[in-house]
Structure 1
Amino acid sequence: MTAFDGLPPLREVLEAHGLDPRKALGQNFLLDLNLTGRIARQALPLEGATVVEVGPGPGGLTRALLSHGAGKVIAIEKDERCLPALAAIASHYPGRLDVVEGDALAIDPDRLCEGPYKIVANLPYNVGTQLLLNWITGTTWPPRWTDLTLMFQKEVAERIVAGPDDDHYGRLGVLCGWRTDAEILFDVSREAFTPPPKVTSAIVRVVPKLTPIEARLADVERVTAAAFGQRRKMLRQSLKPVGGEALLARVGIDPTRRAETLSVQEFVSLANALDG
């Protein structure tokens, strides 16, 4: 029995190509094409868009993106075992799927795309956070990507969207809150995957702020690293490496506060008040 797009069901694809998910690659395959279609729809409008996908595996999300109108999907896949399955999709959608074999951590999506693009991916758990940081800490802002629709472990998703006085608030939440607007769209149960991971996942939508509060990225990173490196201590102690009480006084922040109580704007103000 073929799927809605005329290609074989994903379980048949796995069997045909001997694709057993590998823990070392952070692989958990989504085989439900209804679910991959739902994820693709979160990235609408797709008609004619260029989409970068990381870790397509057997291609369930790839197929959904193409069937929903993506003009070009550029899929970055590290596992060479998946390439024949992706080649079959490329043949089914002539000229609309390019497969790049390699490690997404070492590939700049800007170099793969001629104009604006979206990133949509069921990210491998073991590299998802670092990939997001790579994309939101580019030296040029606003970025060439227009939006990110990404799957993370639920705990990581909560860190991305967290704000002050939230237990999940930290460096990742500050950087995302400074440069982007992020929201959790829906959860994905562990039973949706092969093999099931130990945790629930979540789909996160990230849109860049075109004019975030001006600051040097390196300074924001210095302040947040120091503050959350000792998050249970008062700021006068945790921020000693970057100026301590003198820095806090320049911005007018009570030195007895803790990192998790500061707003994104206060962190940016501290970054702008750093010596030098």
Structure 2
Amino acid sequence: MTDLPSLRESLDAHGLMAKKSFGQHFLLDLNVTRKIARLAGPFAGDAVIEVGPGPGGLTRALIESDAGRVIAIEKDARFLPLLRELDDGSGRLRLVEGDALKVDERSLVDGPAHLVSNLPYNVGTALLIKWLTGPWTPASMTLMFQKEVAQRVVAQPGEDAYGRLAVISQALCEARMVMSLPAAAFTPPPKVASAVVHLVPHAERLAEARIRKLERVTAAAFGQRRKMLRSSLKPLGGAALCEAAGIEPDARAETIDVAGFLRLADALT
């Protein structure tokens, strides 16, 4: 990687700029991308999947790491020629042109794989929900979001950011914020700060039916978060559901911890 031109030089050479419609904001400081790769690892030879590599700043850091393979999924075909320049001929880098929301990760790997990505802002939450609740479970996820979204992932009961995303994320993973970045770190700079969240799935994954119930309960509870649960959960059983789960019917969603929501899901028939 040391023989390659700088990321800015590569972008200029290919005449590339960020597309607002794709939510692109490039991270061009290799010291920062290397730090993200270190926070995500060690990978011990496992594969790493990166979504939205763009000019390849994080891709370079992942290739330098102990990942066995780096699989980069890029929707914007403009960047594929630039990314191909990162291939050192070892076969460790694989480029996949496609929409990560539609890609079946199971077709890309045959063993444990980690997700490490500076996610496009406009699809970051949707991708996280896909990886949390879908049929494929990553070994870990180290993902950059808008800081507001990152706070929603790690929030605790009673905090303003606590909501459906926190409950689902923490019911399925250990989640913590590991890094914050100002808008000025990106090109072009977004209007908000960013943060990196590291998620490790629990050793025992929830059954699919239980996940679907949790999604229903949290959607109802936080869909009307200012109402008492007896009202917001009325379509699912209201006060009777709360009592079956050992939850006070007059409580509001933001005061219920993850264990409480799991009890509500288990009480749902």
Question: 1:16-95 maps to which residues of 2 (within 5 A)?
Answer: 16-90=13-87, 92-95=88-91
* 1:69 positional shift: 2.7
Deviation by residue 1:140-174 (Cα, 9 ceiling, x = unmatched): 6xx2x210111000000000011211111111100
CA contact (8 A) 1:47 1:68 kept: no
Aligned counterparts of 1:68 and 1:136: Cα–Cα separation in 2? 25
2:222 alignment partner in structure 1:
228
Tell me the secondary structure at the aligned position of residue 266 of structure 1: helix
2:163 alignment partner in structure 1:
170
Structure 2 residue 132 is matched with structure 1 residue 150? no
Structure 2 residue 251 is matched with structure 1 residue 250? no
CA contact (8 A) 2:46 2:111 kept: no
CA contact (8 A) 1:40 1:68 kept: yes
Tell me the secondary structure at the aligned position of residue 79 of structure 2: helix
CA contact (8 A) 2:154 2:176 kept: yes
Structure 2 residue 198 is matched with structure 1 residue 201? no
Residue type of the alignment partner of 1:46: F
CA contact (8 A) 1:46 1:65 kept: no
Residue type of the alignment partner of 1:97: L
Aligned counterparts of 1:98 and 1:168: Cα–Cα separation in 2? 37
* 1:233 positional shift: 0.6
**Of 101, 104, 107, the match for 1:105:** 101
TM-score, with length taken from structure 2: 0.96
Gap change, CA 1:15 and 1:139, over 3 Å in 2: closer
The runs of at least 4 consecutive aligned structure 1 residues that moved more than 6 Å come to none
Aligned counterparts of 1:63 and 1:93: Cα–Cα separation in 2? 14
2:115 alignment partner in structure 1:
119
Aligned counterparts of 1:219 and 1:206: Cα–Cα separation in 2? 22
User: Which sits farther off after the overlay, 190-199 or 42-51?
Assistant: 42-51
Tell me the secondary structure at the aligned position of residue 70 of structure 1: coil
Residue type of the alignment partner of 1:20: M
TM-score, with length taken from structure 1: 0.94
* 1:37 positional shift: 0.6
* 1:61 positional shift: 0.4
**Of 179, 192, 198, the match for 1:186:** 179
Percent of aligned pairs with the same residue? 57
CA contact (8 A) 1:178 1:212 kept: no
Deviation by residue 1:59-90 (Cα, 9 ceiling, x = unmatched): 11000011123221000000111001111001
Structure 2 residue 268 is matched with structure 1 residue 274? yes
Aligned counterparts of 2:130 and 2:50: Cα–Cα separation in 1? 15
Q: What is the CA RMSD across the aligned residues, in angstroms?
A: 1.3
Structure 1, gaps ≥5 residues long: none
* 1:47 positional shift: 4.2
Residue type of the alignment partner of 1:209: H
Aligned counterparts of 2:91 and 2:205: Cα–Cα separation in 1? 37
CA contact (8 A) 1:247 1:274 kept: yes
Question: 1:120-139 maps to which residues of 2 (within 5 A)?
Answer: 120-139=116-135
Aligned counterparts of 2:205 and 2:246: Cα–Cα separation in 1? 22
Structure 2, gaps ≥5 residues long: none
Deviation by residue 1:28-82 (Cα, 9 ceiling, x = unmatched): 0111111111111111113422100000001110000111232210000001110
